[in-house]
Amino acid sequence: MNARTRALRSLIRLHKTKVDQAKAAMVEALASEHTARIQLESCQATIESERQAAMSEHVSMDDFRRWLPFGQEAVERAENTLHSASQASEQAREALMQANAALKAATSILDRRMEEEKEIATRRERAEIDDLSRRVRMMPG
């Protein structure tokens, strides 16, 4: 194996590491997005629960009106957190796609290189066989 092929193999190992790192980042980003979505749903459910309590007169409507801006603020913060988490997931997805593309490109180059080396070796073998064949024909018999 020549230096160029060794370098390509090293590059592929590096790209595989990058793919693994990108996958881990993607998993983490998706988990954060999921957590943010659950938090938003929880805040929205709390508002609905408090509204139902006020409607059924378990809580006064005035208390609900005073509390509602805080509940809406919590929903807004949760929406912002979810938006940020979704953007992070999209960036992680893009990074993973790029890492996979780079790995595929390096692998393709190595495959072509290995095929070229195989063709060169095959040509050398044929040349050796042809040379031996000529020598045998030239020998007095």
Could you report the per-residue pLDDT of 108-135, keeping only the tens digit for each?
Answer: 999 999 999 899 999 999 999 998 888 8
pLDDT at 26: 98
The Cα 102–Cα 37 span in angstroms is 32
pLDDT at 4: 87
**Joined tokens for residue 97:** 């796609």
The Cα 123–Cα 26 span in angstroms is 47
Among residues 130, 80, 129, 55, the alpha carbon closest in space to that of 63 is found at 55
To the nearest whole percent, how much of the chain has pLDDT over 70? 99
More confident residue, 97 or 55: 97
Q: What is the mean pLDDT of the chain?
A: 94
The Cα 22–Cα 20 span in angstroms is 5
State the burial class of residue 89 (Cβ atoms within 10 Å of its Cβ: 0-12, 13-18, 19+): buried
**Domains of the chain from N-terminus onward:** 3-138 (1.10.287.1700)
To the nearest whole percent, how much of the chain has pLDDT over 90? 82
pTM of the model: 0.76
What average pLDDT score do residues 5-18 get? 95
pLDDT at 141: 61
